């Protein structure tokens, strides 16, 4: 069986940034399972996995364009500290915000002082080259329900979302 659309794929992976620093890994965690062809993973990785079989190991380098996108400096904004109503502010803290156009996004605190809090709506990995080391551990057909939902269910069973 090969990886193609509407297959449920189980992976082992290590994700490093362009400088070789490990950012994420499936090691010591529950299996990483996803539905192929449903944009559950970044486009560059999905493309690289297409056609692969169980047991295959490979490295793939994904550009920002096919990863979490390039950085958009317009998504960096400064808000008055007073808007936080005396709540604690920490670097890396994330919260939901709305753009002037009313779009919802998640922003992270990247800088702050007593007056100003600088927030960034870019994905923390935007602009980064993603170096994946991948091992294909399992492939199975997706159930009709999984295809309808657009994601994998644990062992093909009930939906946990
Ligand atoms: Zn579901």
CA 33 to centroid of chain Cα atoms: 13
Residue 51 counted as domain residue? yes
**Ligand 1 geometric centre to CA of 161 (Å):** 6
19/59 same-domain check = yes
30/8 same-domain check = yes
**Ligand 1 geometric centre to CA of 150 (Å):** 7
Residue 134 counted as domain residue? yes
Residue 32 counted as domain residue? yes
| pLDDT, one tens digit for every residue, the chain (161 residues) | 999 999 999 999 999 998 899 999 999 988 899 999 999 999 999 999 999 999 999 999 999 999 999 999 989 999 999 988 888 999 999 988 887 778 788 899 999 999 999 999 998 899 999 999 999 999 999 999 999 999 999 765 778 76
**Ligand 1 geometric centre to CA of 151 (Å):** 6
Q: Give 142's DSSP letter.
A: P
d(CA 35, CA 44): 15
Burial of 29 (0-12, 13-18, 19+ CB in 10 A): exposed
CATH of the domain at 77: 2.40.10.330
Burial of 91 (0-12, 13-18, 19+ CB in 10 A): exposed
Residue 157 counted as domain residue? no
7/62 same-domain check = yes
Containing structural domain, residue 32: 2-68+126-149
Residue 97 counted as domain residue? yes
How many domains are contained in the chain?
2
34/16 same-domain check = yes
109/133 same-domain check = no
**Ligand 1 geometric centre to CA of 39 (Å):** 15
User: Which H or E run includes 94?
Assistant: strand 94-98
38/81 same-domain check = no
d(CA 126, CA 78): 19
- Sequence-distant (6+) residues with CB within 8 A of 141 are 6, 7, 8
């Amino acid at each position: 069986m090969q990886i193609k659309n509407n297959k449920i794929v189980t992976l082992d992976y290590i994700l490093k940034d362009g400088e070789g620093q490990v950012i994420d890994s499936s090691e010591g965690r529950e299996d990483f399972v996803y539905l192929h062809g449903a944009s559950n993973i970044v486009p560059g990785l999905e493309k690289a996995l297409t056609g692969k079989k169980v047991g295959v190991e490979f490295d793939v380098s994904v550009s920002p364009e096919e990863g979490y996108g390039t950085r958009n400096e317009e998504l960096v904004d400064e808000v008055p500290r007073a808007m936080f109503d005396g709540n604690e502010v920490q670097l890396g803290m994330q919260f939901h915000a709305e753009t002037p156009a009313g779009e919802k996004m998640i922003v992270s605190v990247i800088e702050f002082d007593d007056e100003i809090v600088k927030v960034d709506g870019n994905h923390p990995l935007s602009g980064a080259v993603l170096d994946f080391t991948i091992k294909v551990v399992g492939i199975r057909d997706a159930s009709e329900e999984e295809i309808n939902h657009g994601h994998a269910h644990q062992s093909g069973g009930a939906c946990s979302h």
